[in-house]
Structure 1
Amino acid sequence: MTKTISRVALGLLLSLSLLACSSPIIKQYANEKPTLDLSEYFNGTIDAYGIFTDRSGNVKKRFTVLLEASWKVVDGKKIGILDESFEYSDGTKQKRIWTLTEVSPGKFIGKADDVIGEAIGEASGNALYWAYTLALPVDNSIYHVQFEDWMYLVSPKVMINKAKMSKFGIDLGEVTLSFYKR
């Protein structure tokens, strides 16, 4: 009897800890202000400042991003081009050009040369959830790493981005990025 109670208690404890670790749901931000309109925020010139931290929270890389963005309507769909120029603290540079398409109100797909397949995103209130697999160069190898981005519009000019990186479900670290719209 004692073993059964212990097993039930352990099972309950594990279930509660899994619930505590669950991710936010995009709809929980539906009433948050200011409301994020991707085609409005990501339009024009935006400066970003970021860090990559490993699993232990140690800062491994610092970087800046110059982002030039524009949108057009094609066949009734909003299509955005986000041209990102990265510069890392070690002097290396990188370029990524996103093509974003609003497939239905608040739902987006994105493509870039180093994104495997399509990125899938959804906006609600002041938030955007964005998930994708990135071909990430490390030393002389390329790793396919999963990203889960949460972006929060703080003010009409400032957005904060927290991205979790993982491979085979194992946490690799986080990217934290602040955007400032000029």
Structure 2
Amino acid sequence: MNKSAMCLLLSSSFLASCSVNVDQYEDSDNNFDLQSYFDGKLIAWGVIQNLNDKVTRKFCVELDGQWENKKGLLVEKFYFDDGEISYRNWHLTETTPNHFTGTAEDVVGSAIGQQQGMAFNLQYTLKLPVDDTTYEVAMDDWMYQIDEYRIVNKTSISKLSVNVANVTIFFDKQLPLNTCLDFNNR
């Protein structure tokens, strides 16, 4: 085995050993109820950062969720700072207590999610268009409920097990709700 391959193997092993498991949040103070929080309208703001932690895009997203019999539809409308508007419709199902699967039009296969205590982790493969090419990237979403109104979401985006970007999102469900309509005029 050459030096480069050995370094990559050791790095991968080190990263795997440092990974966070959602069960670590079992004893946290509040219990994040995904179905309750994402039921109705809410708004979120976020940034996308490159490998050097430079913010490359800002966005606002309006969400509307509806749940019935452990099945939910979460409609998302993204407003990016460059004028782009995009949409994602999550179809989520609680398969067993605190375990979820989900699909969306730009997700390959099914997303797998688990909730424990204040945390929710969702992992999936996303079709990410960049210029004239669409890449399949691994998404590792971690949501942490701060209080009954606010959630912070940290997402790592990877390609071939190498982190290529990060996303940070702040959700707010406190009334009165804002909208994203003025986002690009700020």
| Structure-2-length-normalised TM-score | 0.85
RMSD between superposed Cα atoms in Å: 1.7
Question: Which letter maps to 2:138?
Answer: Q
Greater strand content: 1
Alignment partner of 1:26 is 2:22? yes
1:27-106 alignment runs, 5 A limit: 27-73=23-69, 78-106=70-98
Q: For this pair of structures, how many residues does the alignment match?
A: 165
Secondary structure of 1:160's match? strand
User: Residue 142 of structure 1 corresponds to which residue in structure 2?
Assistant: 134
Question: Which letter maps to 2:21?
Answer: I
Gaps of 5+ in 1: 1-13
Relative to 1, partners in 2 of residues 1:84 and 1:19: Cα closer, same or farther, differing over 3 Å?
closer
Relative to 1, partners in 2 of residues 1:54 and 1:70: Cα closer, same or farther, differing over 3 Å?
same
Gaps of 5+ in 2: 1-9, 175-186
What do residues 107-164 of structure 1 show as CA deviations (whole Å, max 9, x unaligned)? 0000001000000000000100110000011111111010001100000000000000
Secondary structure of 1:39's match? helix
Secondary structure of 2:120's match? strand
Question: Which letter maps to 1:115?
Answer: V
User: Residue 169 of structure 2 corresponds to which residue in structure 1?
Assistant: 177
Secondary structure of 2:14's match? helix
Q: Which moved more, 1:28-37 or 1:108-117?
A: 28-37
Considering only CA atoms, is the larger Rg found in Structure 1 or Structure 2? 1
Q: How far apart, CA to CA, are the structure 1 residues paired with 2:29 and 2:84? A: 37
Q: How far apart, CA to CA, are the structure 2 residues paired with 1:19 and 1:83? A: 33
- What displacement does 1:33 show? 2.4
What do residues 73-121 of structure 1 show as CA deviations (whole Å, max 9, x unaligned)? 1xxxx00100000000000000000000000000000000100000000
User: Residue 3 of structure 2 corresponds to which residue in structure 1?
Assistant: none
| Structure-1-length-normalised TM-score | 0.87
Question: Which letter maps to 2:165?
Answer: G
User: Residue 108 of structure 1 corresponds to which residue in structure 2?
Assistant: 100
Relative to 1, partners in 2 of residues 1:102 and 1:50: Cα closer, same or farther, differing over 3 Å?
same
Relative to 1, partners in 2 of residues 1:176 and 1:21: Cα closer, same or farther, differing over 3 Å?
farther
